[in-house]
Amino acid sequence: MKLVIQRVSEASVKIDGKIKGTIGMGLMVLVGIEESDGQDDIDWLSGKLVNLRIFPDENEVMNKSILDVEGEILLISQFTLHASTKKGNRPSYIKAAKPDISIPLYEKFVGSVNSLLPTEVQTGEFGADMKVSLINDGPVTIIIDSKNRV
């Protein structure tokens, strides 16, 4: 699994012109799932996400987590995170998991993150054409791949 995490002052996702999810200060997270992902990836990444210290403390040092600042999370599925651009100019998505694998894993990931937060995770809709808006705070953007945890 791969996450692109952006610290935001606000973020939202629209589907067919209607807001599906919206948050204030917190994290907007793009989630990419590949064929080989499983429960261990979900457990590791959900713990890493909620404990990642990328919010400023009283000395303006990134030393606080989403839990410490009582922020919100918006999770958006994004199969294009697993694009391969080695050959030619058209990305290949062969490593991205097919919906029969990725939908249940995405839903488990949302549930896992939800279980670690006092507020409910906001989401987009898997496979939908989504319009994501955000104000990146910092800017702070972190990429984490569960396959690179060792």
| Residue 118: count of CB within 10 angstroms of its CB | 6
The catalytic residue among 78, 109, 122, 123 is 78
CA atoms of 138 and 89, how far apart (whole Å) = 32
Would you call 80 a catalytic residue per the annotation? yes
Would you call 78 a catalytic residue per the annotation? yes
The catalytic residue among 39, 80, 119, 141 is 80
Would you call 79 a catalytic residue per the annotation? yes
The catalytic residue among 79, 109, 122, 123 is 79
CA atoms of 79 and 72, how far apart (whole Å) = 23
CA atoms of 83 and 77, how far apart (whole Å) = 14
Q: Which of 130, 120, 105, 94 is nearest to 31 (CA)?
A: 105
Which residues are part of the catalytic machinery?
A: 78-80
